[in-house]
Protein backbone atom coordinates (compact mmCIF):
# COMPACT_ATOMS: atom_id res chain seq x y z
CA UNK A 1 0.00 0.00 0.00
CA UNK A 2 1.32 3.42 -0.96
CA UNK A 3 1.46 6.13 1.70
CA UNK A 4 1.34 8.88 -0.97
CA UNK A 5 3.30 11.49 0.97
CA UNK A 6 5.05 13.87 -1.44
CA UNK A 7 8.82 13.54 -1.74
CA UNK A 8 10.71 16.71 -0.88
CA UNK A 9 14.20 18.00 -0.20
CA UNK A 10 13.10 19.21 3.23
CA UNK A 11 13.90 17.04 6.25
CA UNK A 12 10.93 14.87 7.16
CA UNK A 13 9.84 14.90 10.82
CA UNK A 14 7.53 12.01 11.62
CA UNK A 15 5.47 12.35 14.80
CA UNK A 16 3.78 9.29 16.33
CA UNK A 17 0.66 10.21 18.30
CA UNK A 18 -1.57 13.29 18.45
CA UNK A 19 -1.89 13.73 22.18
CA UNK A 20 -0.98 16.94 23.97
CA UNK A 21 2.70 16.58 23.04
CA UNK A 22 2.35 15.52 19.39
CA UNK A 23 -0.33 18.13 18.71
CA UNK A 24 1.68 21.01 20.16
CA UNK A 25 4.90 19.97 18.39
CA UNK A 26 3.23 19.69 14.97
CA UNK A 27 1.58 23.10 15.37
CA UNK A 28 4.79 24.79 16.52
CA UNK A 29 6.69 23.43 13.48
CA UNK A 30 4.33 25.18 11.05
CA UNK A 31 6.97 27.79 10.12
CA UNK A 32 9.97 25.44 10.19
CA UNK A 33 11.68 24.29 7.00
CA UNK A 34 10.61 20.69 7.50
CA UNK A 35 7.94 18.31 6.26
CA UNK A 36 5.74 17.26 9.18
CA UNK A 37 4.05 13.84 9.01
CA UNK A 38 1.73 12.98 11.89
CA UNK A 39 0.55 9.38 12.39
CA UNK A 40 -2.23 8.42 14.79
CA UNK A 41 -4.64 5.51 15.08
CA UNK A 42 -7.57 7.96 15.36
CA UNK A 43 -8.46 10.91 13.16
CA UNK A 44 -9.15 13.12 16.18
CA UNK A 45 -7.37 14.64 19.15
CA UNK A 46 -8.80 13.38 22.43
CA UNK A 47 -8.89 15.50 25.61
CA UNK A 48 -8.28 12.70 28.10
CA UNK A 49 -8.78 14.65 31.39
CA UNK A 50 -12.54 14.81 30.70
CA UNK A 51 -13.07 11.23 29.56
CA UNK A 52 -14.70 10.38 32.88
CA UNK A 53 -17.45 12.91 32.16
CA UNK A 54 -18.20 11.14 28.89
CA UNK A 55 -18.33 7.84 30.78
CA UNK A 56 -20.87 9.23 33.28
CA UNK A 57 -23.10 11.06 30.80
CA UNK A 58 -21.98 14.59 31.64
CA UNK A 59 -20.51 15.35 28.21
CA UNK A 60 -20.93 13.93 24.73
CA UNK A 61 -17.85 12.42 23.11
CA UNK A 62 -17.56 15.10 20.41
CA UNK A 63 -17.25 17.75 23.15
CA UNK A 64 -13.75 16.53 24.01
CA UNK A 65 -12.59 15.38 20.57
CA UNK A 66 -11.55 17.46 17.58
CA UNK A 67 -10.68 16.36 14.01
CA UNK A 68 -6.95 16.38 13.43
CA UNK A 69 -7.24 17.55 9.83
CA UNK A 70 -9.38 20.50 10.92
CA UNK A 71 -6.81 21.53 13.53
CA UNK A 72 -4.11 21.77 10.88
CA UNK A 73 -6.16 23.34 8.10
CA UNK A 74 -3.90 25.74 6.21
CA UNK A 75 -0.59 24.36 7.52
CA UNK A 76 1.26 23.79 4.26
CA UNK A 77 4.04 21.55 5.57
CA UNK A 78 1.69 19.15 7.39
CA UNK A 79 0.51 15.66 6.36
CA UNK A 80 -1.62 13.26 8.38
CA UNK A 81 -2.05 9.50 8.04
CA UNK A 82 -4.41 7.43 10.18
CA UNK A 83 -2.67 4.18 11.05
CA UNK A 84 -1.39 2.00 13.87
CA UNK A 85 2.38 2.12 14.30
CA UNK A 86 3.58 -1.42 14.95
CA UNK A 87 7.38 -1.10 14.95
CA UNK A 88 10.32 1.28 14.63
CA UNK A 89 13.27 0.34 12.41
CA UNK A 90 16.00 2.82 13.36
CA UNK A 91 18.64 1.08 11.26
CA UNK A 92 16.83 2.12 8.07
CA UNK A 93 15.03 5.23 9.41
CA UNK A 94 11.54 3.82 8.91
CA UNK A 95 8.45 3.09 10.97
CA UNK A 96 6.18 0.17 10.22
CA UNK A 97 2.45 0.94 10.21
CA UNK A 98 -0.81 -0.78 9.38
CA UNK A 99 -0.89 1.05 6.02
CA UNK A 100 2.78 0.59 5.08
CA UNK A 101 6.27 1.82 5.94
CA UNK A 102 7.04 5.52 6.38
CA UNK A 103 10.54 6.94 6.04
CA UNK A 104 11.78 9.62 8.40
CA UNK A 105 14.76 11.88 8.83
CA UNK A 106 13.77 12.72 12.40
CA UNK A 107 11.35 10.66 14.47
CA UNK A 108 9.41 11.93 17.48
CA UNK A 109 7.61 9.35 19.61
CA UNK A 110 4.68 10.84 21.52
CA UNK A 111 2.56 7.72 21.84
CA UNK A 112 1.41 8.55 25.36
CA UNK A 113 0.58 5.97 28.01
CA UNK A 114 -1.41 2.77 28.44
CA UNK A 115 -3.26 1.33 31.41
CA UNK A 116 -0.99 -0.54 33.80
CA UNK A 117 -2.58 -3.63 35.35
CA UNK A 118 0.69 -4.55 37.11
CA UNK A 119 0.78 -7.96 35.49
CA UNK A 120 -2.63 -9.08 36.79
CA UNK A 121 -4.18 -10.70 33.72
CA UNK A 122 -7.42 -11.52 35.51
CA UNK A 123 -8.09 -7.86 36.31
CA UNK A 124 -7.02 -6.85 32.80
CA UNK A 125 -9.65 -9.20 31.35
CA UNK A 126 -12.49 -8.30 33.71
CA UNK A 127 -12.14 -4.63 34.67
CA UNK A 128 -13.22 -1.57 32.73
CA UNK A 129 -10.89 1.32 31.90
CA UNK A 130 -11.21 4.82 30.49
CA UNK A 131 -8.21 5.58 28.32
CA UNK A 132 -10.05 6.31 25.09
CA UNK A 133 -13.40 7.60 23.86
CA UNK A 134 -14.64 4.12 22.82
CA UNK A 135 -13.80 2.72 26.26
CA UNK A 136 -15.56 5.67 27.95
CA UNK A 137 -18.68 5.04 25.86
CA UNK A 138 -18.51 1.35 26.74
CA UNK A 139 -18.39 2.22 30.42
CA UNK A 140 -21.35 4.58 30.09
CA UNK A 141 -23.40 1.87 28.37
CA UNK A 142 -22.43 -0.74 30.96
CA UNK A 143 -23.42 1.45 33.92
CA UNK A 144 -26.90 2.14 32.59
CA UNK A 145 -27.37 -1.38 31.24
CA UNK A 146 -26.73 -2.69 34.74
CA UNK A 147 -29.43 -0.43 36.16
CA UNK A 148 -31.86 -1.62 33.52
CA UNK A 149 -31.06 -5.20 34.52
CA UNK A 150 -31.42 -4.35 38.21
CA UNK A 151 -35.05 -3.44 37.59
CA UNK A 152 -35.70 -7.02 36.50
CA UNK A 153 -34.22 -8.63 39.60
CA UNK A 154 -36.52 -9.58 42.48
CA UNK A 155 -33.84 -10.65 44.95
CA UNK A 156 -31.57 -8.27 46.82
CA UNK A 157 -28.49 -10.42 46.33
CA UNK A 158 -29.07 -10.29 42.56
CA UNK A 159 -29.85 -6.59 42.35
CA UNK A 160 -27.15 -5.08 44.56
CA UNK A 161 -24.07 -6.15 42.54
CA UNK A 162 -25.61 -4.53 39.46
CA UNK A 163 -25.98 -1.21 41.28
CA UNK A 164 -22.61 -1.13 43.07
CA UNK A 165 -19.51 0.31 41.40
CA UNK A 166 -15.89 -0.09 42.48
CA UNK A 167 -13.25 2.42 41.34
CA UNK A 168 -9.63 1.34 41.78
CA UNK A 169 -6.97 4.05 41.98
CA UNK A 170 -6.89 7.19 44.09
CA UNK A 171 -5.31 9.50 41.54
CA UNK A 172 -7.15 12.41 39.87
CA UNK A 173 -9.12 10.12 37.54
CA UNK A 174 -10.29 7.84 40.34
CA UNK A 175 -11.18 10.72 42.65
CA UNK A 176 -13.04 12.69 39.97
CA UNK A 177 -14.89 9.61 38.72
CA UNK A 178 -15.95 8.57 42.24
CA UNK A 179 -17.24 12.05 43.01
CA UNK A 180 -19.23 12.18 39.78
CA UNK A 181 -20.81 8.79 40.44
CA UNK A 182 -21.79 9.93 43.95
CA UNK A 183 -23.53 12.98 42.49
CA UNK A 184 -25.35 10.77 39.96
CA UNK A 185 -26.57 8.60 42.83
CA UNK A 186 -27.92 11.65 44.67
CA UNK A 187 -29.35 13.81 41.89
CA UNK A 188 -29.79 11.83 38.67
CA UNK A 189 -30.44 8.13 39.13
CA UNK A 190 -33.40 8.51 41.56
CA UNK A 191 -35.28 10.38 38.82
CA UNK A 192 -34.61 7.74 36.19
CA UNK A 193 -35.06 4.69 38.40
CA UNK A 194 -37.66 5.51 41.09
CA UNK A 195 -38.39 1.78 41.43
CA UNK A 196 -34.92 1.15 42.80
CA UNK A 197 -33.81 1.91 46.33
CA UNK A 198 -30.75 4.10 45.72
CA UNK A 199 -29.67 3.73 49.35
CA UNK A 200 -28.58 0.24 48.33
CA UNK A 201 -26.18 1.62 45.72
CA UNK A 202 -22.62 1.83 47.01
CA UNK A 203 -19.61 3.48 45.41
CA UNK A 204 -16.19 2.30 46.54
CA UNK A 205 -12.83 3.96 45.90
CA UNK A 206 -9.92 1.62 46.63
CA UNK A 207 -6.33 2.87 46.72
CA UNK A 208 -3.24 0.72 47.32
CA UNK A 209 -1.30 3.60 48.85
CA UNK A 210 -1.85 5.38 52.17
CA UNK A 211 -3.27 8.58 50.63
CA UNK A 212 -5.34 9.84 47.75
CA UNK A 213 -3.92 12.17 45.07
CA UNK A 214 -0.31 11.15 45.47
CA UNK A 215 1.88 14.10 44.48
CA UNK A 216 -0.42 16.77 45.88
CA UNK A 217 -0.05 18.44 49.26
CA UNK A 218 -1.18 16.72 52.44
CA UNK A 219 -3.76 19.45 52.92
CA UNK A 220 -5.32 18.77 49.51
CA UNK A 221 -5.21 15.01 50.06
CA UNK A 222 -7.15 15.32 53.32
CA UNK A 223 -9.68 17.72 51.80
CA UNK A 224 -10.34 15.39 48.88
CA UNK A 225 -10.78 12.45 51.27
CA UNK A 226 -13.25 14.38 53.42
CA UNK A 227 -15.17 15.58 50.35
CA UNK A 228 -15.61 12.02 49.13
CA UNK A 229 -16.70 10.71 52.52
CA UNK A 230 -19.24 13.53 52.84
CA UNK A 231 -20.62 12.50 49.44
CA UNK A 232 -21.10 8.91 50.61
CA UNK A 233 -18.15 7.27 48.85
CA UNK A 234 -16.59 4.35 50.72
CA UNK A 235 -12.83 5.02 50.59
CA UNK A 236 -10.37 2.22 51.32
CA UNK A 237 -6.68 3.16 51.65
CA UNK A 238 -3.63 0.88 51.82
CA UNK A 239 -5.77 -1.82 50.22
CA UNK A 240 -4.34 -3.22 46.99
CA UNK A 241 -6.84 -5.03 44.80
CA UNK A 242 -5.87 -8.64 44.30
CA UNK A 243 -8.50 -10.04 41.92
CA UNK A 244 -11.84 -9.42 40.25
CA UNK A 245 -13.84 -12.34 38.96
CA UNK A 246 -17.44 -13.57 39.10
CA UNK A 247 -18.63 -10.19 40.41
CA UNK A 248 -16.31 -10.35 43.43
CA UNK A 249 -13.56 -7.81 44.13
CA UNK A 250 -10.92 -9.12 46.52
CA UNK A 251 -8.67 -6.53 48.14
CA UNK A 252 -6.83 -5.55 51.28
CA UNK A 253 -5.73 -9.02 52.28
CA UNK A 254 -9.08 -10.79 52.53
CA UNK A 255 -11.90 -8.27 52.14
CA UNK A 256 -14.43 -8.70 49.36
CA UNK A 257 -17.10 -6.63 47.63
CA UNK A 258 -19.81 -7.99 45.35
CA UNK A 259 -20.04 -5.67 42.36
CA UNK A 260 -20.52 -6.26 38.65
CA UNK A 261 -18.56 -3.15 37.61
CA UNK A 262 -14.97 -2.42 38.54
CA UNK A 263 -13.23 0.55 36.91
CA UNK A 264 -9.44 0.38 36.86
CA UNK A 265 -7.74 3.77 37.19
CA UNK A 266 -4.79 2.60 39.26
CA UNK A 267 -1.86 3.49 37.05
CA UNK A 268 -0.30 3.83 33.62
CA UNK A 269 2.96 3.06 31.87
CA UNK A 270 4.46 4.10 28.58
CA UNK A 271 2.73 3.01 25.36
CA UNK A 272 6.03 1.78 23.99
CA UNK A 273 6.53 0.74 20.36
CA UNK A 274 8.84 -2.21 19.58
CA UNK A 275 12.12 -1.60 17.78
CA UNK A 276 14.31 0.48 20.08
CA UNK A 277 17.30 -0.99 21.90
CA UNK A 278 16.74 -2.38 25.39
CA UNK A 279 18.82 0.35 27.03
CA UNK A 280 16.47 2.94 25.56
CA UNK A 281 13.42 1.56 27.39
CA UNK A 282 12.97 1.98 31.15
CA UNK A 283 11.35 -0.35 33.66
CA UNK A 284 7.88 1.17 33.18
CA UNK A 285 8.07 1.03 29.37
CA UNK A 286 8.90 4.70 29.04
CA UNK A 287 11.69 5.72 26.66
CA UNK A 288 14.90 7.03 28.24
CA UNK A 289 15.83 10.49 26.93
CA UNK A 290 18.43 13.13 27.71
CA UNK A 291 17.67 16.68 28.79
CA UNK A 292 16.59 17.75 25.29
CA UNK A 293 14.37 14.69 24.78
CA UNK A 294 16.77 12.84 22.52
CA UNK A 295 16.42 9.07 22.93
CA UNK A 296 19.50 7.51 24.54
CA UNK A 297 21.63 5.84 21.87
CA UNK A 298 20.03 7.58 18.85
CA UNK A 299 20.82 10.90 17.21
CA UNK A 300 17.61 11.41 15.21
CA UNK A 301 14.93 9.88 17.46
CA UNK A 302 13.17 11.85 20.20
CA UNK A 303 10.44 11.13 22.73
CA UNK A 304 8.15 13.65 24.43
CA UNK A 305 5.19 13.54 26.80
CA UNK A 306 4.12 10.56 28.89
CA UNK A 307 6.33 8.15 26.95
CA UNK A 308 9.52 10.13 27.73
CA UNK A 309 11.55 9.16 30.81
CA UNK A 310 13.84 12.10 31.57
CA UNK A 311 15.67 11.50 34.85
CA UNK A 312 17.04 14.65 36.46
CA UNK A 313 18.14 15.77 39.92
CA UNK A 314 14.68 17.14 40.68
CA UNK A 315 12.90 14.19 39.05
CA UNK A 316 15.06 11.09 39.61
CA UNK A 317 12.24 8.79 38.46
CA UNK A 318 11.21 10.92 35.51
CA UNK A 319 8.74 13.75 35.18
CA UNK A 320 5.08 13.24 36.09
CA UNK A 321 2.89 11.96 33.28
CA UNK A 322 0.70 15.05 33.01
CA UNK A 323 -0.32 17.40 30.20
CA UNK A 324 1.82 20.44 31.24
CA UNK A 325 5.01 18.37 31.00
CA UNK A 326 4.04 17.09 27.56
CA UNK A 327 3.19 20.57 26.26
CA UNK A 328 6.38 22.16 27.58
CA UNK A 329 8.57 19.40 26.15
CA UNK A 330 6.88 19.75 22.76
CA UNK A 331 7.40 23.51 22.72
CA UNK A 332 11.09 23.15 23.52
CA UNK A 333 11.63 20.40 20.95
CA UNK A 334 10.02 22.58 18.28
CA UNK A 335 12.75 25.13 19.05
CA UNK A 336 15.54 22.56 19.33
CA UNK A 337 14.95 20.61 16.11
CA UNK A 338 16.02 23.48 13.81
CA UNK A 339 19.02 24.06 16.09
CA UNK A 340 20.01 20.40 15.88
CA UNK A 341 19.63 20.42 12.10
CA UNK A 342 21.88 23.48 11.95
CA UNK A 343 24.51 21.79 14.15
CA UNK A 344 23.86 24.06 17.13
CA UNK A 345 23.64 23.02 20.76
CA UNK A 346 20.03 22.45 21.84
CA UNK A 347 18.54 23.99 24.96
CA UNK A 348 17.95 21.76 27.97
CA UNK A 349 14.47 21.09 29.30
CA UNK A 350 13.48 22.61 32.63
CA UNK A 351 9.97 21.86 33.80
CA UNK A 352 8.01 24.85 35.09
CA UNK A 353 5.45 23.46 37.51
CA UNK A 354 2.44 25.76 37.35
CA UNK A 355 0.40 23.66 39.79
CA UNK A 356 -1.85 20.62 40.02
CA UNK A 357 -5.55 20.33 40.65
CA UNK A 358 -8.39 17.86 40.93
CA UNK A 359 -12.15 18.18 41.21
CA UNK A 360 -14.25 16.01 43.47
CA UNK A 361 -17.72 17.23 42.59
CA UNK A 362 -20.09 20.16 42.61
CA UNK A 363 -18.38 23.12 44.34
CA UNK A 364 -15.59 20.81 45.54
CA UNK A 365 -12.04 20.81 44.20
CA UNK A 366 -8.45 21.12 45.39
CA UNK A 367 -5.70 23.22 43.81
CA UNK A 368 -1.98 23.23 44.62
CA UNK A 369 -0.14 26.24 43.18
CA UNK A 370 3.57 26.90 43.72
CA UNK A 371 2.86 29.73 46.16
CA UNK A 372 -0.32 28.63 47.93
CA UNK A 373 -3.02 25.95 48.12
CA UNK A 374 -6.79 26.17 48.36
CA UNK A 375 -9.97 24.16 47.94
CA UNK A 376 -13.73 24.45 47.74
CA UNK A 377 -15.88 26.53 45.41
CA UNK A 378 -13.14 28.85 44.12
CA UNK A 379 -10.85 25.89 43.41
CA UNK A 380 -13.71 24.28 41.51
CA UNK A 381 -14.10 27.40 39.34
CA UNK A 382 -10.35 27.47 38.66
CA UNK A 383 -10.40 23.80 37.68
CA UNK A 384 -13.27 24.38 35.23
CA UNK A 385 -11.64 27.45 33.68
CA UNK A 386 -8.27 25.75 33.13
CA UNK A 387 -9.83 22.66 31.53
CA UNK A 388 -12.18 24.74 29.42
CA UNK A 389 -9.32 26.82 28.02
CA UNK A 390 -7.24 23.72 27.29
CA UNK A 391 -9.90 22.18 25.05
CA UNK A 392 -9.20 22.38 21.32
CA UNK A 393 -11.64 24.39 19.22
CA UNK A 394 -14.10 27.16 20.04
CA UNK A 395 -17.11 24.89 19.48
CA UNK A 396 -15.83 22.35 22.01
CA UNK A 397 -15.25 25.09 24.56
CA UNK A 398 -18.74 26.50 24.04
CA UNK A 399 -20.54 23.14 24.07
CA UNK A 400 -18.69 22.02 27.19
CA UNK A 401 -19.37 25.30 28.99
CA UNK A 402 -23.09 25.20 28.16
CA UNK A 403 -23.25 21.57 29.26
CA UNK A 404 -21.60 22.35 32.58
CA UNK A 405 -23.92 25.30 33.22
CA UNK A 406 -26.99 23.17 32.44
CA UNK A 407 -25.80 20.32 34.65
CA UNK A 408 -25.09 22.73 37.51
CA UNK A 409 -28.48 24.48 37.60
CA UNK A 410 -30.64 21.53 36.53
CA UNK A 411 -28.91 18.99 38.80
CA UNK A 412 -29.01 16.69 35.82
CA UNK A 413 -26.89 15.08 33.12
CA UNK A 414 -28.80 14.71 29.88
CA UNK A 415 -26.61 12.13 28.13
CA UNK A 416 -27.67 8.96 29.88
CA UNK A 417 -27.83 7.16 26.54
CA UNK A 418 -27.07 3.57 25.64
CA UNK A 419 -26.11 4.39 22.06
CA UNK A 420 -24.42 1.08 21.46
CA UNK A 421 -25.09 -1.69 23.99
CA UNK A 422 -21.91 -3.00 25.51
CA UNK A 423 -21.48 -6.77 25.48
CA UNK A 424 -18.78 -8.18 27.66
CA UNK A 425 -16.58 -10.82 26.14
CA UNK A 426 -15.72 -14.15 27.62
CA UNK A 427 -12.13 -15.27 27.90
CA UNK A 428 -12.33 -17.17 24.61
CA UNK A 429 -13.20 -13.90 22.87
CA UNK A 430 -16.85 -14.75 22.22
CA UNK A 431 -19.58 -12.30 23.13
CA UNK A 432 -21.95 -13.32 25.87
CA UNK A 433 -25.31 -14.41 24.54
CA UNK A 434 -28.52 -13.15 26.12
CA UNK A 435 -30.21 -15.45 28.63
CA UNK A 436 -32.72 -17.91 27.14
CA UNK A 437 -36.39 -16.89 27.29
CA UNK A 438 -37.96 -17.56 30.67
CA UNK A 439 -41.37 -19.26 30.99
CA UNK A 440 -44.19 -16.86 31.86
CA UNK A 441 -44.76 -16.57 35.60
CA UNK A 442 -48.05 -16.05 37.36
CA UNK A 443 -48.55 -12.47 38.54
CA UNK A 444 -50.44 -11.46 41.62
CA UNK A 445 -54.03 -10.54 40.83
CA UNK A 446 -54.03 -12.30 37.46
CA UNK A 447 -55.02 -15.97 37.87
CA UNK A 448 -55.18 -16.47 34.12
CA UNK A 449 -51.39 -16.23 33.90
CA UNK A 450 -49.84 -19.72 33.81
CA UNK A 451 -47.66 -20.56 36.77
CA UNK A 452 -43.96 -21.13 36.28
CA UNK A 453 -42.83 -24.74 36.37
CA UNK A 454 -41.59 -25.89 39.75
CA UNK A 455 -37.78 -25.52 39.75
CA UNK A 456 -35.46 -28.29 40.69
CA UNK A 457 -34.17 -28.21 44.25
CA UNK A 458 -30.67 -26.65 44.23
CA UNK A 459 -27.87 -27.86 46.44
CA UNK A 460 -25.12 -25.95 48.18
CA UNK A 461 -22.06 -27.83 49.45
CA UNK A 462 -23.96 -31.07 48.64
CA UNK A 463 -26.76 -30.11 51.05
CA UNK A 464 -30.29 -29.87 49.62
CA UNK A 465 -31.92 -26.45 49.88
CA UNK A 466 -35.55 -25.54 49.55
CA UNK A 467 -36.50 -23.23 46.69
CA UNK A 468 -38.26 -20.81 49.01
CA UNK A 469 -35.58 -20.45 51.67
CA UNK A 470 -32.19 -18.95 50.89
CA UNK A 471 -29.05 -20.91 51.56
CA UNK A 472 -27.39 -20.17 54.91
CA UNK A 473 -24.39 -19.00 52.89
CA UNK A 474 -26.50 -16.38 51.11
CA UNK A 475 -27.03 -13.25 53.14
CA UNK A 476 -30.07 -11.23 51.99
CA UNK A 477 -28.88 -8.25 54.03
CA UNK A 478 -26.21 -6.30 52.22
CA UNK A 479 -22.92 -6.34 54.20
CA UNK A 480 -20.45 -3.51 54.06
CA UNK A 481 -17.68 -6.01 53.40
CA UNK A 482 -17.57 -9.78 53.35
CA UNK A 483 -14.63 -11.90 54.32
CA UNK A 484 -13.04 -13.91 51.56
CA UNK A 485 -13.47 -17.70 51.65
CA UNK A 486 -10.69 -19.49 53.49
CA UNK A 487 -9.65 -21.42 50.42
CA UNK A 488 -9.70 -18.38 48.12
CA UNK A 489 -6.53 -17.91 46.13
CA UNK A 490 -5.70 -14.25 45.57
CA UNK A 491 -3.64 -13.08 42.68
CA UNK A 492 -0.94 -10.96 44.22
CA UNK A 493 -0.14 -7.63 42.73
CA UNK A 494 2.97 -7.91 40.62
CA UNK A 495 5.68 -5.42 39.91
CA UNK A 496 5.15 -2.92 37.14
CA UNK A 497 8.28 -4.28 35.50
CA UNK A 498 6.42 -7.49 34.70
CA UNK A 499 3.38 -5.79 33.22
CA UNK A 500 2.71 -6.87 29.66
CA UNK A 501 -0.37 -4.89 28.72
CA UNK A 502 -1.46 -2.78 25.81
CA UNK A 503 -4.18 -0.17 25.57
CA UNK A 504 -7.32 -1.33 23.85
CA UNK A 505 -8.53 1.11 21.21
CA UNK A 506 -12.12 0.00 20.94
CA UNK A 507 -12.91 -1.14 24.47
CA UNK A 508 -11.54 -2.57 27.68
CA UNK A 509 -11.47 -6.36 27.62
CA UNK A 510 -13.73 -7.73 30.32
CA UNK A 511 -14.51 -11.19 31.50
CA UNK A 512 -17.74 -13.07 31.90
CA UNK A 513 -20.07 -12.13 34.73
CA UNK A 514 -22.50 -14.99 34.16
CA UNK A 515 -20.98 -16.87 37.09
CA UNK A 516 -22.01 -16.33 40.68
CA UNK A 517 -20.00 -15.17 43.64
CA UNK A 518 -18.59 -17.76 46.05
CA UNK A 519 -21.01 -19.21 48.61
CA UNK A 520 -24.10 -18.44 46.51
CA UNK A 521 -26.26 -20.69 44.37
CA UNK A 522 -27.79 -20.04 40.98
CA UNK A 523 -31.51 -19.22 40.97
CA UNK A 524 -33.23 -21.67 38.61
CA UNK A 525 -35.14 -20.22 35.63
CA UNK A 526 -38.71 -19.29 36.42
CA UNK A 527 -38.18 -18.68 40.13
CA UNK A 528 -40.10 -15.49 41.09
Say what the pLDDT of residue 405 is: 85
SS3 161: helix
H or E element at residue 236 = strand 234-236
3-state secondary structure (DSSP) of residue 128 = strand
Q: What is the pLDDT of residues 47-71, one digit of tens each?
A: 999 999 999 988 889 899 999 999 9
Residue 377 has pLDDT above 90, yes or no: yes
One of 124, 157, 176, 245 is an active-site residue; which one?
176
Provide the pLDDT confidence category of residue 416 given band limits of 50, 70 and 90.
Answer: confident
> Global pTM?
0.78
**Dist. CA 238–CA 339, nearest whole Å:** 48
What are 220-250's pLDDT values in tens digits? 999 999 999 999 999 999 999 999 999 999 9
Average pLDDT of the segment spanning 468-483: 41
- Alpha carbon 165 to chain centroid, angstroms: 15
The CATH topology of domain 121-266 is: FAD/NAD(P)-binding domain (3.50.50)
The strands making up 364-368's β-sheet, listed across from edge to edge, are 356-361, 364-368, 373-375
pLDDT tens digits, one per residue of 184-205:
999 999 999 999 999 999 999 9
Q: What is the pLDDT of residue 371?
A: 87
Question: What local confidence, expressed as pLDDT, does residue 511 receive?
Answer: 37
Is 432's pLDDT higher than 80? no
Given a cut of 50, whether residue 481 has pLDDT beyond it is: no
* Neighbouring residues of 516: CB distance < 8 A, sequence distance ≥ 6: 246, 247, 522
Given this model, what pLDDT does residue 396 score? 83
Average pLDDT (373-385) is 93
Contacts 24+ apart (CB under 8 A), 62-66: 62/396, 62/399, 63/396, 63/399, 63/400, 63/403, 64/133, 64/391, 64/396, 64/400, 65/133, 65/396, 66/392, 66/393, 66/396
* % of the chain with per-residue pLDDT over 90: 67
Per-residue pLDDT at 283: 84
pLDDT at 427: 39
Predicted confidence at residue 428, as pLDDT, reads 39
- Domain locations in the chain as residue ranges: 12-116+269-342, 121-266
Q: Is 176 a catalytic residue?
A: yes
Mean pLDDT of the region 298-316? 95
Asked if the domains 12-116+269-342 and 121-266 are classified in one and the same CATH topology, the answer is: yes
Position 408 pLDDT exceeds 70:
yes
How far, in Å, CA of 168 to CA of 267, rounded?
9
* pLDDT band per the 50, 70, 90 thresholds, residue 280: very high
Which residue, among 330, 309, 328, has the nearest Cα to 320 in the 3D structure? 309
**Is pLDDT of 467 > 80?**
no
pLDDT for position 206: 97
Q: Is 235 helix (H, G, I), strand (E, B) or coil?
A: strand
Q: What is the model's pLDDT at position 143?
A: 94
What SS3 state is found at 225?
A: helix
Among 41-45, 71-75, 512-516, the range scoring the smallest mean pLDDT is 512-516
Supply the pLDDT for residue 425.
57
Q: 336 pLDDT exceeds 70?
A: yes
> What pLDDT sits at residue 391?
87
pLDDT averaged over every residue in the chain: 83
CATH superfamily of 12-116+269-342: FAD/NAD(P)-binding domain (3.50.50.60)
What pLDDT, on a 0 to 100 scale, did the predictor assign at position 421? 82
Does residue 491 contact residue 122 with C-beta atoms inside 8 Å?
Answer: yes
More confident residue, 384 or 422: 384
Contact 235, 229 (CB under 8 A): yes
Q: Report how far residue 448's alpha carbon sits from residue 444's, in angstroms, rounded to the nearest whole number.
A: 10
Residue 418: band (very low, low, confident or very high) from pLDDT cuts 50, 70, 90: confident
pLDDT for the residue 460? 40
Amino acid sequence: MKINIPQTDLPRVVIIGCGFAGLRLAKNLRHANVQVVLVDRNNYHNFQPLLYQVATGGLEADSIAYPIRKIFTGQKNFYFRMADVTAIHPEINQIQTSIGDIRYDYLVVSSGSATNFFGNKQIEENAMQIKSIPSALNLRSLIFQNFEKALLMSRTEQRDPLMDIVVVGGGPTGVELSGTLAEMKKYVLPKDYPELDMSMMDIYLIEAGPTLLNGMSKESQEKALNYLKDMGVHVELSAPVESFENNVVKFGGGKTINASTMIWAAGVFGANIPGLADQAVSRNKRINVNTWNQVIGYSNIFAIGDIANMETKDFPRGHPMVAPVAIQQAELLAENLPRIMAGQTPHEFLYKNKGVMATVGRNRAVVDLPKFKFGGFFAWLVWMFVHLMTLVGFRNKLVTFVGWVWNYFAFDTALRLIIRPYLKETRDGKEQQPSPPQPPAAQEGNPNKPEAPQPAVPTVNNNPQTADAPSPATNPVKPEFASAPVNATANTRQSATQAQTTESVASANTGSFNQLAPNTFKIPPGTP
